[in-house]
Amino acid sequence: MRRAFLAITGLAASTTALVVLKGSPGTTQVAQDLPAAQPVNPTPQGADPSAAPPGEPAGAAPKPSVSAGAPSSPRPSRSSTARPSGTRTTAKAPTAPRTTTRAPQPTTRRVTGPGVDNEYGYVQVQIVVSGNRIVEAISLSLPSGGESDIHSGDVRDRYNGTGGEVVQKQSANLNTVSGATETSNSYKQSLRGAIEQAF
């Protein structure tokens, strides 16, 4: 009985050893056929790559990695870029000078001609000039007394005033007053001198 038990035990042990020896090459082959281990993706599928790593608040930007030996650029201080305190000065654009389109008003002036003597008396004429135009003629002195008063009145009426012959002709080329030739000639002579001074 004891021998039979030992024989069964020995048979079982040899069978087990045979199975182990036979299974070892197969096991090695199975291990060789397995694919190589793939690197593990730290970001799970469907997760947001911009999400903050564990331990940091959501929305925080990832910290850049600083490589050893690379000098980090210093941040400019705010004090160097801050505006100096004080009053703010603003430069005004230069304004163009105003131009007037109104034409200059002509100046009015009085010009007196030379005095002229004749056998009847003394004659002197004055003209009023505005711009380059005679606007009035005035006899400052004419012969007087007797018939001279009549002839001088005729000369005055013909040549003087703002509507007389002097203003109409704008010159000393006047028509001679009948009966007062000497006074007319003396008037024209004084008038010619006044015009030469004015123009």
CA distances from 105 to 131, 134, 135, 172, 186 (A): 9, 15, 15, 26, 34
CB 158 within 8 A of CB 176: no
Q: Which residues of 78-97 are buried (b: 16+ CB within 10 A; e: fewer)?
A: eeeeeeeeeeeeeeeeeeee
Which residue type does 95 have? T
* Residues sharing a CB contact under 8 Å with residue 151, sequence separation 6 or more, in sequence order: 120, 143, 177, 179, 180, 183
pLDDT value, residue 95: 72
CB 191 within 8 A of CB 136: no
Sign of the C-alpha dihedral computed for residues 132, 133, 138 and 143 taken in this order: positive
Cross-strand bridge partners of residue 129: 109, 134
Q: What is the mean pLDDT of each run of 10 residues along the chain (199 residues)?
A: 62 60 49 50 50 50 48 52 57 66 78 96 97 96 94 97 97 96 97 96
* Residues sharing a CB contact under 8 Å with residue 106, sequence separation 6 or more, in sequence order: 130, 131
